[in-house]
Chains A and B, each alone.
Chain A
């Protein structure tokens, strides 16, 4: 079972890879809309990637209003 810290790190690594950013350039508290400059459609694509990686389903409502990696990782963690 992953710890929340591990989940958070994997979320950051995957997001960086998906959006072609250097590893380590994202932080848990970052607002991913601002930091990645992505819109809601691109966010949905990123979520699909994360779901595949973690082998879970994240309903759209679970991530409604979520904009930082830390909260996103918490939502993922609760479903692992």
Chain B
């Protein structure tokens, strides 16, 4: 790995990585069963430098802003490298936003260059929002069919300068990226992330989950997401590792990619991890009785032998078939973006597949804590990463309070929002808006969001995420627990209640059997933690690109219902 302490900027570190690891594979791009591309670091440089030169020929210079709206693919990373090489600021946007939302963010960011894919541009170019983003002067479109009208854009593939580009140095404190948080806490905010934020975060993360030449990271989370940007681009590149992109995310091709490319790491959001768990459980249950018994004994044995630390070699030997399905070299699944259910994490750990469960937010430069596996703790989000100062502020009697972070990875602030920045970063401490506590061994346990919570009349604080674990695997499509007072505010701090928002499967009735199921589960909770009623919803819950439930948007949707009639009592 490069010694990142010596570097001032992302561009400088990546530039050296391309030279140092020139003969290593850095990118593999596959589309279904076909491998489309395999690039070494030298190949990557040969693609990226003419692109960087063409940017410079267009007047792109230090501090210029360029946005990428693309699915995960090699041109995403090549474009990003070129932007950093030319001293620019990258604005990675979520390709799943609506065209109008994308234009709104492009306008807000002040981006002058937009790099996107043809199908996305087809929608963007005809959107009414285009008129507002007048700052965007150059649009580069990848993979456009021949003879189509590009509506003022240029072809990415033909955008090449002829001479060598000039490397533009940046300082650690300079802004490297403007990242719009898809956080569930409110409207998108442009986090100004500095070069130092990324350099420091990379050092901290790779200390626990190292990359090296030969490691293959499967990039599934969108690269605009802070996690994939770090572990699917900057981290592996500064270590000479390879990134595997899939142009289709159909589950069958994702499954095939593990053994085909001998994947070492993959990042997933909890909902996908849970789907994976369901699939595996179904396969285990389908085993003939005798085989299933043997399998369960082996899982039990693995569990006992890995209680204190992971033993990958041993686990692969004991549970060979499971590990072979994952390619036999999977070291960890990195999970983030939302709260993970402890039993899902434990399920994978017991199979000998550690899940790097952590906690972070864009504003803090991706990860704040991560499970160090010494030992594995499914019930926490791990310990603070090296260089992270984490403390709990405004403590209540039970030791819970708001999580605050101070580190070199904390953003410089929100773009054009000085007041919001001042409210969020106080005396150098980033107030996360998340609630938690440290246990006796220094592991952080999260208990909920600051705002969506109730205080019982006995003075007990209750957090919906705590309650939700009881309703896991409840028949139905999806659910979410809310504080009724959060949805339908009332000027009283007494009589607060929790409700279960429930979206049933198509054709599934809300019948007596289901009501009984909910009641039985509810009764497992201490009486002051129980939900008060159920609110049935017929629409899919709104989710972010990383499939987190947008609680605030869902709450707004619920708020339109009449409180008294919407809540079905239990």
A residues sitting closer than 8 Å to B (CB atoms) are 19, 21, 33-37, 39-41, 44-45, 47-48, 57, 59-62, 64-65
Contact = CB atoms under 8 A, between A and B. Distances in A.
B506 A37 contact: yes
Q: Is the interface of B mostly helix, strand, loop or mixed?
A: loop
A17 to B, nearest CB: 14
Nearest to B31: A59
B540 A39 contact: yes
B250 interface: yes
Interface in B208-264: 247-252
Contact of B117 (A36, A61, A65): A61
Interface string B263-295: 000000000100100000000000000000000
B548 to A, nearest CB: 13
Contact of B272 (A34, A36, A41, A61): A41
B440 to A, nearest CB: 39
Given A21-B507, A60-B249, A34 B540 contact: yes
A57 B250 CA distance: 12
A37 B505 contact: yes
A33 B540 contact: yes
B557 to A, nearest CB: 14
B503 A37 contact: yes
B123 interface: yes
A27 to B, nearest CB: 15
Contacts of B248: 59-60
B540 A48 contact: no
Given A21-B506, A21-B507, A61-B117, A37 B249 contact: no
Most-contacted residue by chain A among B95, B247, B507 (CB, 10 A):
B507
Nearest to A33: B540
A24 to B, nearest CB: 15
A26 B355 CA distance: 40
A36 B477 CA distance: 11
Given A57-B32, A61-B71, A61-B120, A34 B247 contact: no
Interface of B: 31-32, 71, 95-96, 117, 119-120, 123, 247-252, 272, 275, 477, 503-507, 538-540, 547
A59 B247 contact: yes
Contacts of B504: 37
What does DSSP make chain A's interface, helix, strand, loop or mixed?
A: helix
A48 B540 CA distance: 22
9 contacts: A21-B506, A34-B538, A37-B504, A37-B540, A40-B547, A44-B251, A48-B252, A59-B31, A60-B249
B119 A62 contact: yes
Contacts of B123: 65
A45 B251 contact: yes
A21 B508 CA distance: 12
A32 B250 CA distance: 18
A64 B119 contact: yes
A65 B95 CA distance: 10
Nearest to A35: B506
Contacts of B477: 37, 39
Nearest to B99: A65
A41 B540 contact: no
A40 B505 CA distance: 15
Contact of B71 (A36, A40, A48, A60): A60
A61 B119 contact: yes
Nearest to A47: B250
A22 to B, nearest CB: 10
Contacts of A36: 506
Contacts of B506: 19, 21, 35-37
B35 to A, nearest CB: 16
Nearest to A64: B119
B72 to A, nearest CB: 11
B153 to A, nearest CB: 16
Report, nearest first, the 3 A-B pairs whose CB atoms are least far apart: A61-B119, A37-B506, A44-B250
Given A48-B250, A61-B119, 14 more contacts: A21-B507, A34-B539, A34-B540, A37-B503, A41-B251, A41-B272, A41-B275, A44-B250, A45-B251, A47-B250, A57-B32, A59-B247, A60-B247, A64-B95
A60 B247 CA distance: 8
Contacts of A21: 506-507
Nearest to A63: B119
Contacts of A19: 506
B74 to A, nearest CB: 15
- Of A21, A59, A61, A62, most buried by chain B (CB within 10 Å of CB) is A61
Nearest to B540: A33
A48 B250 CA distance: 8
A33 B539 CA distance: 8
Contacts of A39: 477, 540
B506 to A, nearest CB: 4
A57 B506 CA distance: 28
B253 to A, nearest CB: 9
A44 B477 CA distance: 17
Nearest to A45: B251
A65 B120 CA distance: 10
Contacts of A33: 540
A57 B34 CA distance: 13
A39 B119 CA distance: 22
